[in-house]
């Protein structure tokens, strides 16, 4: 993952759509708490590997779509997606050179920051969710990252 890949935008849309559907799939309550933020992970991956195609506008659109799905406050996810995508985009050359474990830690930090932004916006808008379950997707998302990375990288390499 050390160079820009040419990624057709249709593939980006397909992946994001799949991630969005996965995030809306009904699960038993105990599993639903563990669900990683699939769409954000997809956005991070494309911002890292194909920053030109999967850039900030894409992150904004994906976040807005998620807002439309969850519908609490319009723009909440759009904002946090743009912030995260900007950070990834800004440092993608460095992050690509990181060893695998280091990269996973970076993703952990990004996911944590993302949840923190949401937590903060929820608090400001008067809908705070203070349960510890809110921070679980950070961990599960981090654990899911190597899988997503290897699957998408392999898929790209084959093309």
Distances (CA, A) of 52 to 12, 47, 127: 12, 8, 36
Q: For another protein, which stretch binds (CB under 8 A), given 8-16, 24-32, 104-112, 147-155? A: 24-32
Judged by CB under 8 A, the residue of 57, 97, 109, 151 near another protein is 57
Q: Which helix (H) or strand (E) holds 7?
A: none
Phi, psi of 35 (to 5 degrees): -65, 125
Q: Of 28 and 158, which has the nearer Cβ to another protein? A: 28
Distance separating alpha carbons of residues 75 and 84, to the nearest angstrom: 14
Q: 8, 14, 69, 97: which one contacts another protein (CB under 8 A)? A: 69
Contact 91, 110 (CB under 8 A): no
Taking the C-alpha atoms of residue 47 and residue 34, their distance in angstroms, rounded to an integer, is 24
First to last CA, the chain: 15
Q: How many CB atoms within 10 Å of residue 92?
A: 18
Q: Residues 38, 60, 144, 145: which binds another protein (CB under 8 A)?
A: 60
Binding flag, residue 131, another protein (CB under 8 A): yes
The pattern of x and - marking residues 81 through 120 that bind another protein according to CB under 8 A reads: -xx-xx--xxxxx---------------------------
Kindly list the residues in this chain that would bind another protein in the complex (CB under 8 A): 17, 20-21, 23-27, 29, 32-33, 35, 51-52, 55-57, 59-60, 63-65, 67-76, 78-79, 82-83, 85-86, 89-93, 121, 125-129, 131, 133-134
């Amino acid at each position: 993952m050390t160079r820009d890949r040419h990624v057709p935008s249709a593939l980006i849309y397909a992946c994001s759509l799949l991630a969005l559907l996965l995030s809306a799939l009904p699960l038993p309550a105990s599993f639903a708490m563990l669900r990683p933020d699939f769409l954000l992970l997809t956005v991070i991956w494309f911002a890292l590997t194909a920053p030109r195609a999967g850039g900030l506008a894409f992150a904004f659109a994906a976040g807005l779509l998620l807002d439309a799905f969850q519908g609490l406050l319009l723009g909440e996810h759009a904002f946090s997606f743009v912030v995260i995508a900007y950070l990834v985009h800004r440092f993608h050359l460095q992050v690509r050179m990181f060893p695998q474990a280091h990269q996973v830690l970076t993703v952990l930090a990004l996911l944590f920051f993302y949840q923190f932004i949401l937590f903060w916006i929820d608090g400001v808008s008067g809908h705070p969710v203070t349960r510890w379950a809110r921070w679980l997707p950070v961990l599960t998302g981090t654990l899911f990252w190597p899988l997503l990375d290897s699957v998408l990288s392999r898929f790209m390499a084959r093309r």
